[in-house]
Each structure stands twice: as C-alpha cells, then as structure tokens.
Structure 1
Amino acid sequence: MAGTGTRVDMHVKALDERVVERAKARGIDALVYAPHFVRLPDIRERAERFSDDDLLVVPAREIFTGTWRNRAHVLALGLSEPVPDFVTLDGAMREFDRQDAAVLAPHPEFLTVSLDERDIDRYTDRLDAIETYNPKHWPSHNRRARELADAYDVPAFASSYAHLAGTVGEVWTTFAADIETEADLVDALHAGADRAVDHRSGLRHTIQCRLEFAHLGWENSYEKLDRLLLSGMEPTHPRHIAYEGRFDDVRVY
C-alpha cells in the first residue's frame, strides 16, 4: 500500500478465506467488515483473524436504527464500545459522537432501510460520507445518492456491500492517502480525505449486482424478522445483557 494510495472495499458482510482471496485478486488493500446482528467484539476478533500484511480488515457496525418496518441503517467505524441495533437514530448518533466514530450513510434513500433526505439534512455535520454506488442499487438509486452527496457537500464512498463472496471487490473507494490501520481509515474519513469511487463494469458486473439485489428477498423475509424480534435475545438486541441496560432509554423494542 505504501506510496500508492489505498483501495478500500468500504462495506462487506461476508468474510472467510474465499473473500480474502478474491479481495487480494481484485487489488483491494482493505475491507470494512460489518456483518448484520453481530456484536463488535466478535466482529473485531474475526477482522483481526483475516488481516495480514497484504489485506487490512477493519471492523465496523451497520446499526439498524428504528423499528424493523421503519429502519435507517448507519455505518460506524472506529467504535470503542458496542452499540446495539433497534435504537433510535438520535440515540445512535449521540453514541457515535461520544465515541468519536466515523459515521457513514450506506445506500441512502434505498427502500425502507436507509437515511432519507430529512435525516441527512438533520445530521449533515455528523456524517463523514454518503454512499454513492452500491451493487444492490439500480441506476436511479445511484444517481439519487450522488445528488444527495453533492447537495449536502458530504464526501462520497462506494462499496461492494457484499453479502455474497462473489461481489467482493466489484466496487471500491481509493484514498489518496496510505491507510495501514483502522485508525488511519477513521482519520481519513473524519478529515474528508481525497478519494475516488470506482467499480467494475460489463455484463458480469451487472449480473453480480442483480444477484446481490435478489438476496434482499431473504434478507428481509418474515422468517428472519421472527428470529430476530420474537426471541428478543439476539446478540445486538438492546435488551441483551451485554449492554447492561445502557440503551433502555433509546431502544425501540
């Protein structure tokens, strides 16, 4: 990475040997790993396991704020303490501010799972970047995301948002600065460091994007909702013992 800038896939859900191999083959220097409904200590441990001299894996959390039917995802990097899902957006933002985390808006205004323009307007000063290209998007979604980033003068980022291993490295953000550690990436985001967003093209890329979009059918299924909410004791549920009641005043379940 030294002296060449750093190519970062800014958000992946999958992480195993196959993902690492594909990332390296695609010229990716760093992955941001933020799986759904996994606590920060477990994410951090797995990220460390798969990091080496050729690939940095940065632990992160995509927090589900709000209720299942009216949720807004927020991506946070540089957290020092765990933050649960299903808390209010305001409560999550206050906690990110307390921990001086880098705060990103993934897939803005996408379906019912994202920050919308009102949220972006309210939290512009706290957002470090807005995602302007995501494989689950259709072209109109990417255009709208770029419009929002431009309108609110918030730096852009892009990611593979890979739930499927085959999508890793399809999209990336290249930072002009060399990034060797998690702290380097957080600092670059806080500083609005120079970067460029890019992605592969052609039929294979389009097919992989459509496969990622199709994955939404399972991701938002009733069975998953039932597993997450009716048990009430998922690892990132705000009533889980691990959070010691710290989020009781902002939890929505």
Structure 2
Amino acid sequence: MHVKVLDERVVERAKARGLDVLVYAPHFTRLPEIESRAAQYSDDELTVVPARELFTGNWQQRRHVLAVGLSDPVPDFLTLEGTMEELKRQDAAALVPHPGFLNVSLTREEIRAHRDRIDAVEVYNPKHWPHHNRRAKALASDFGIEPFTSSYAHVRGTVGEAWVEFDRDIDDGAALVRALRAEAPRRVFHRDGLAHRLRCGVEFCHLGYENSWSKVDRLLLQGTEPTHPNHVAYGGRFDDVKVY
C-alpha cells in the first residue's frame, strides 16, 4: 500500500512475498484506467485495489494525498483544501504518503489542519532516509493517527519490501477502506538487511528520473495531463478549486 507498477511480474512477486492485497496508484493516470488494470490483475490469491496518489497544489508546492475508495474521478492540481473536501464528499480514505519529504508532502501544519480527514500517515517508505522515517513516525504519534507503510514501488523489485498486517481479512477495496476509516488495529513491517537497503537505494535514485527527463516529458512534450482539471473528462467540475 501502494505500488506504481502493475504487470504479471509484479503480481508474481507480490504472491511470492505472501501479500494478499496491493494498492495500485500510478501517477497521472485517470481512475477508470486504474480500475480497469486493477480488475485485470486481481484473482483469488491477490486483490488489487485501485487508488490515486493525488498531486495537490502547483508544481513548486505540490502535496501528495493517497486516496483509496474513490467513487468518482478526482484530478490533480487542485488546492489541498478542495481535494480534501472532495474525498470527504466521496467518503474515501485519505492517507498521507511520505510526510514532510522534500517539497512533495504534507507538512506538520497541514496535517494538523486536516487531522479530522486524515485516516493514516505513512511511517516507513523505501525512498526515505532513516531521519525521514523517524520524523514520519513522530508525526503519526504526535497527532494520534494510525500508521501505514508501503513499498512505494516504482520498480518491480521493491514490491513486498514493506507491508501492513491488519487484524481482519481484507477481501476487497471496500473492506480496506472500512479498515482504514475505522482505524483498525494493524502492524507495520519492512524487510531489512543489505538487499533491502540496496532496493531502497534504487527507489531513491528513481527520484532522479522522475524529476528530470520524466518531468520534462510530461510538462513539455505530452500536452495536457489526463488528470489535469481542464481535461474534458472532468467537465469543469473542479474549476473553483483548481490551481492551473
């Protein structure tokens, strides 16, 4: 909870690592496409839950919010307040990935402001350095918010490096949302050792690709993002809370 990549090899690796559920939330991909791919790769052994890691704010001050249980598409590049209100309207679970990390995460002040709408805070992420994880744990503890972790896999090899165990069976996306919204008891785990640290290093290095050629490609070569609020698919519904 969650991954960015999804194919047969990802599914095989998840099953080999003993996972029951994957939350699939790729960047800049519209919800219907995510839902379709999640259904395609779900079976009796592994449930793939569709989700969106929403980019709120502008490129210079963007904040990520992981939304699980969306019933309607939500675009990127809305105000943080507008995004949180829409998640409340849809009764979706609102999670804070990689808090306080670089310039892409909710700050302590923003977590405080939206405490009543936040269902979990990520306390371990393979892209983090140790001090990032310590700060994330402190944030979750200080605000009394339940923790979660994820492999945050942008590369297949990271799948299964970190996971959450709930005190109940999670059979589908609705059950996961209920567990998150109800603050169900859970335990957070991650692998350790040299192999794990190397995989974490690969994930961290992937940031260089994300913030160099990948960003140039998105901003300059591909035109309007499919998750931009001006996209025809959103029908102007978010014009009052968009930042672009």
Q: Secondary structure at the match of 1:228?
A: helix
Matched, 1:119 2:119: no
Structure-2 separation of matches of 1:197 and 1:136: 16
1:247 correspondence with 2:238 = yes
SS in 1 for 2:236: coil
Report the Cα offset of residue 75 of structure 1: 0.2
User: Are residues 1:109 and 2:100 paired?
Assistant: yes
Instruction: Indicate the SS of the match to 2:2.
Output: strand
The alpha-carbon deviation at position 233 of structure 1 amounts to 1.7
Match of 1:68 in 2: 59
What is the letter of the counterpart of residue 176 of structure 1?
D
Per-residue Cα deviation, 1:110-146 (whole angstroms, up to 9, x for no partner):
0000001011000011000000000000000000000
Structure 1 residue 232: deviation in Å? 4.7
Could you tell me which residue of structure 2 aligns to residue 6 of structure 1? none
Alpha-carbon distance in structure 2 between the residues aligned to 1:220 and 1:200: 27
Calculate percent identity across the aligned residue pairs. 65
Higher relative contact order (CA 8 A, sep 6+): 1
Structure 2 runs not aligned, ≥5 long: none
Label 1:141 to 1:28 Cα distance change in 2 as closer, same or farther (>3 A).
same
Instruction: Tell me how far apart the structure 2 counterparts of residues 101 and 118 of structure 1 sit (CA, whole Å).
Output: 22
Match status 1:86 vs 2:51: no
- The alpha carbon displacement at 1:227 in A equals 2.3
Instruction: Confirm or deny that 1:53 pairs with 2:40.
Output: no
Partner of 2:11: 20
Whole-angstrom CA distance in 2 between matches of 1:120 and 1:225: 30
Question: Counterparts of 1:194 and 1:242 in 2: how far apart (Å)?
Answer: 38
After the TM superposition, which segments of 4 or more aligned residues of structure 1 sit over 4 Å from their partners?
Answer: 229-232
Give the number of aligned pairs.
Answer: 244
Provide the rounded CA distance (Å) in 1 between the counterparts of 2:188 and 2:139. 15
What one-letter code is carried by the residue in structure 2 that aligns with 1:195? Answer: R
Q: Distance in 2 between matches of 1:226 and 1:45?
A: 25
CA distance in 1, matches of 2:229, 2:221: 13
- Are the counterparts in 2 of residues 232 and 239 from structure 1 also a CA contact under 8 Å? no
SS at match of 1:174: strand
Is the contact between residue 135 and residue 213 of structure 1 (CA under 8 Å) also seen in structure 2? Answer: yes
TM-score, reference length from structure 1 = 0.94
Aligned to 2:127: 136
For 1:231 and 1:174, locate their aligned partners in 2 and report how far apart those are by CA, in whole Å. Answer: 39
